[in-house]
Amino acid sequence: MTEVLTRPRTRPGRAAARASLGLAPALVTAVAYVDPGNVATNFSAGSAYGYGLLWVVVGSTAAAGLIQYLSAKLGSCTGRSLTESVASAVGRRARVAYWVQAELVAVATDIAEVVGGAVALKLLFGLPLWAGAVTVAAVSTALLHLRTTRGENAFAVAITVALALIACGFVACAVFAGPTAGGMLSGMRPLLPDDRAAFLASGIFGATVMPHAIYVHSALSRDSGRRLRAGGPSLPGGTADVLSATRRGVVGAMLLAGSINAALLLTAAALPAGAGPLTLEGVHATVGAVLGALPALALALALLVSGLASTAVGTHAGDIAMRDLIRRRVPAGARRLAALAPAVLLLAADLDTTHLLVLSQVGLSLGVPFALVPLIRLTARRSLMGAAVNHWATTAAASLVVAAAVAVNGFLLMDLALG
């Protein structure tokens, strides 16, 4: 008699928890991909080169999706975040050095997001930039307080609602702008017209493949997996179910984030050439003059929400790095003040805010190899990952992303050296 094997049935609550294992961390992390730095970089690229750098947005999103999958897989399958895994593998001095670079990445991220939110408040209410920066820091601190008082689920819901609002605002602008199918097809040709295009392309890459998003995603996936395992027996499909849920969550979240970033570039590309300067204020004014008051309002509101939500995620990344690497924690308010100070000083210096945002995203790419190299090595280690170990093709593809990051860094350093 042949035995018939049936898959154990999962309780509805358990099925929902399994689905959220991959989706909730991915959606929270996706906010980092649509922050004000992305807005400035993609608008600048679309304004300067039309549809020409659309292929960079698509390619960077695909690369980021692969890296976020590895990050989520590490956290959910090993029960450790990336920073925890690094801390267990190196000595004290190396841990401190790694923490310093992770904190610098978090500060650079916070600068971009606070500046972007301040610009949005100036556009909406006429607030001075320094007052807008203080407001953004205060609201983002409240979001983090929601996480500590109401739990991860409440925080994830708040960030997901913010992501939906961002998508509605920016995609609405693209719909009003009416990009052409021919233009979008032409933008998929992998060409870089000049050095300025290479600089913007590196900024797009740095704004998409971001180290702080890698740290956060691995930690959120670790926590999600722990909560699921604490609620009852292991998943019916074991590792296979974990990986499947992780893949679905990452693909869905990255498709959403990629669509938003593409919408930003397409909006700028569809506006009349030379209609306005390459600043957020100029883009907002041009959108209002060409498309109308409603798209301009949607643009400003989406920019504000992106600054508020993404700075909360960036601050969370710094907290994770400090806790895992040097076993220390500081209150969220103190961390927000530390991030606020450089942003206010830069705003007080009356620098071009859009150029500042683009530079911040370019600077973020310098921290990418420090996150990617250990991530790839860890997820390719069978003794650590077991059945979830990378396929050789996955490791090869991720290594190409690292090579691209190193090439971008080399170009940026050379560009800075030559002035």
For 130-139, the pLDDT digits (tens) are 888 888 888 8
As a CATH number, domain 18-418 is: 1.20.1740.10
Residue ranges of alpha helices (H) inside 126-210 are 129-150, 152-177, 181-186, 195-208
Compare 40 and 160 and report the one with higher pLDDT: 160
Task: Report d(CA 320, CA 314) in Å as an integer.
Answer: 10
Q: Can you give the pTM of this predicted structure? A: 0.86
Domain boundaries, the chain: 18-418
Task: Report d(CA 322, CA 165) in Å as an integer.
Answer: 31
pLDDT of 276 strictly over 70: no
Judged by DSSP in three states, 191 sits in coil
pLDDT of 239 strictly over 80: no
Q: For all residues of the chain together, what is the average pLDDT?
A: 83
pLDDT of 195 strictly over 60: yes
Q: Which of 98-112, 231-245, 284-298 has the highest mean pLDDT?
A: 284-298
Closest CA to 85 of 328, 371, 329: 371
Task: Report d(CA 149, CA 241) in Å as an integer.
Answer: 31
How many angstroms separate the Cα of 389 from the Cα of each of 181, 372, 385? 40, 16, 5
Q: Residue 5 — pLDDT band, cuts 50, 70, 90? A: very low
What pLDDT shows up at residue 12?
47
Q: Residue 297 — pLDDT band, cuts 50, 70, 90? A: very high
